[in-house]
Amino acid sequence: MRSSELKNLSTEELLQKEQDLRKELFKLDYQRRMGRVEKPHLFRQFKKDIARIKTFLHERKSLKNEESIDARRKI
């Protein structure tokens, strides 16, 4: 998934997307343990997508904290 697509999603949608990717990664890992992975390239792709999502969530959290600090300074 492209980062521009992720940027447009809401926080709830990002959390849901991360959960879905983790489930898919778990299924792939199970297939690998059984010895029959059809698309091994998806391991890397899912891990990178999860990292992108976590980055966006962290950025949003940081911005929210900065805004609350700025609001307190004005008072």
Structure token digits, residue 16: 């849901």
pTM of the model: 0.81
What is the domain extent for residue 36?
3-74
User: What's the confidence (pLDDT) of residue 75?
Assistant: 60
Cβ atoms 47, 25 nearer than 8 A: yes
Number of domains the chain is built from: 1
Q: Return the CATH number at 38.
A: 1.10.287.310
pLDDT at 67: 72
| pLDDT band at 13; cut points 50, 70, 90 | very high
CA–CA distance, 33 with 8 (Å, rounded to integer): 36
Residue 72 in this model has a pLDDT that exceeds 80: no
pLDDT in tens, 15-68: 999 999 999 999 999 999 999 888 899 999 999 999 999 999 999 888 887 777
Q: What pLDDT sits at residue 8?
A: 86
Please check whether residue 46 is in contact with residue 21, taking contact to mean a CB–CB distance below 8 angstroms. yes
